[in-house]
Amino acid sequence: MQTKEFLVLVLVCQSSIYAGGLRNDNKNKMTDITCELITTKTLVLGQSVKIETILSNNTIEDIQLLQYYTPYEGILGDIFSIQYKDSELSYQGPLVKRGPPTDADWLNIEPNSHLASHVDLNLAWDFNQPGWYEIKLRNSINIRQHNDMAESIIIPLDCPSILIEIVR
């Protein structure tokens, strides 16, 4: 029971940080970032499962996204949860350990614009059976305001899962 209470406390604290958002001209504004996954809904067995990830910055300020553990750096870690018949597919791609980020590791997203990424999931997961697969981006993201290079915050990314069907 203590573990569950601790988890709830951590989630409440994280939500409070998120709700506070990033500062914008000394006003407290929520960071409004939306996420969408896009792919072909029906694929033939053996065809590449290509996913487009779109992050939208719906604020009035530039924000910067740390590429680490996101599709924006490619697939260099177990960043997607892929379910097939009540079990998760095993990640079979590279695992990369990184040092502290440099300015080159941050991608700028202008106000009211979006950033797209394309990855081929076949490079790290085995889609070798026909049927339905549920794909979800599993990570939080690390962002900072363009004019505040020193501070960043980690926010949960609520990116809706998508279903694809692989047929023979």
pTM assigned to the model:
0.80
Element (H, E) at 6: helix 2-20
Range of the structural domain that residue 66 is part of:
31-167
| Residue 21 forms part of a structural domain | no
Per-residue pLDDT of the chain (168 residues; tens, 9 = 90+): 444 433 333 333 332 223 333 333 323 344 699 999 999 999 999 999 999 999 999 999 999 999 999 999 999 999 999 999 999 999 999 999 999 999 899 999 999 999 999 999 999 999 999 999 999 999 899 999 865 657 889 999 889 999 999 999
Neighbours of 120 (CB within 10 A): 13
Domain count, the chain: 1
Domain for residue 92, yes or no?
Answer: yes
With respect to residue 88, please indicate whether it lies within any of the assigned structural domains.
yes
Q: What is the CATH number of the domain that holds 156?
A: 2.60.40.2970
Domain membership of residue 130 (yes or no) is yes
Note whether residue 56 is domain-resident.
Answer: yes
CA-nearest of 96, 95, 118, 117 to 48 is 118
